Amino acid sequence: MTSSDHHKEAIQGLIQTGKYFFDRGWSLGTSSNYSVVLTHTPLTLLITGSGKDKGRLTDNDFVTINEHGQTIAPPGAKSSAETFLHIAGARAPLQTAGLAYTGTTQAPVGAILHTHSVWGAVLSDHFFETGYVPIQGFEMAKGLAGISTHTDLYKIPIFDNTQDIPKLASQVASRYSDPNIPVRHGYLIRGHGLYTWGKNLEEARRHVEIFEYLLEVTGRVLSLKGRLS
C-alpha cells in the first residue's frame, strides 16, 4: 500500500469509527479524538481535528502531526488539545501473545482511540482513590490482546484529570512498566474518559468495545448492590 493509500484508508476508517462510537453514545458533544499512525520513523499521526462532531466527520476534519505534536498538514490546522496523549499512546508497549512488546522493530501501535462514555466517567470517578477499576472473572477480558484467562485481576489504571496534557502524557508513559498498576492496553482519566490503542485500527476498536463492556458490567454489578460509596 502506498503512503497515499494508507492515508486515505486511515481517514475512511476513522470517519466510520466516529459514526459508530457516536451512535453507541461514546463520543457525544464533539468529545473524543482518534488517531492512526502514518509512519513510525519518524512518528507521524493522522488525528481528528479539534472540536469536530464525531458522528459526522468529513475528509477535511483531520490533521497530520509529527512526534512533537506540531501540525504538518494542512497548514494552519489545529489538532486536538490532547495530541500529546496520542503520541504517548503511539509509543506504548504493545501487548501481544501475553508478552509486553519490548522493541521497536516488531509490530508497534497503529491506532489510538479516546472515548467519553457515561460508565467510563462514573467509574473512573468512583474508583479514583483505588487507582484502578478492578476487573476479574469476566470472559470478555480475553478480548484484550495477549490476555488468555479470565481469572487474573486486570487493573484499568485511572489518572487524575488535568488541563496540563503534556504532564499527563509524561505520567502515563512512566507507568508502562509499573509493577503495581501498569498501563497495558489503555487507561481512564478521572471523570473524563478512556484511552486505548492496538496494532491497528481494528484492534483498537476491539479494545474500546471490550473496555466499555467491562465498565458497564462493573457499573451494573455495583448498581445492583446499591452501595457504591
Out of 190, 195, 197, 201, name the contact with its own copies by CB under 8 A.
190
Burial of 154-165, coded b for 16+ CB within 10 Å and e otherwise, reads bbbbbbebeeeb
87 binding its own copies? (CB under 8 A) = no
The answer to whether residue 31 forms part of the interface with its own copies (CB under 8 A) is yes
As given in the structure block, the three cell numbers for residue 49 are: 481535528
Among 106, 137, 153, 167, binds its own copies (CB under 8 A): 137
131 binds its own copies, rule: CB under 8 A: no
Q: Which of 60, 149, 170, 174 binds its own copies (CB under 8 A)?
A: 149
Edge-to-edge order in the sheet of strand 33-39: 71-73, 62-66, 44-48, 33-39, 111-115, 193-198, 186-189, 154-159, 132-135
The window from 37-45, 98-106, 180-188, 201-209 that contacts its own copies (CB under 8 A) reads 201-209
Smallest gap from residue 144 Cβ to its own copies (A): 9
Instruction: Please state, in angstroms and as integers, the Cα–Cα distance from residue 65 to each residue in 35, 85, 94, 176, 221, following that order.
Output: 10, 13, 21, 23, 41
Cell of 38: 502514518
DSSP H or E segment with residue 73: strand 71-73
Q: Is 227 in the site for its own copies (CB under 8 A)?
A: yes
Q: Which residues bind its own copies (CB under 8 A)?
A: 25, 28-31, 53, 116, 118-119, 121-122, 125-126, 137-140, 143, 148-150, 161, 163, 189-193, 202, 206-207, 209-210, 212-213, 216-217, 219-229
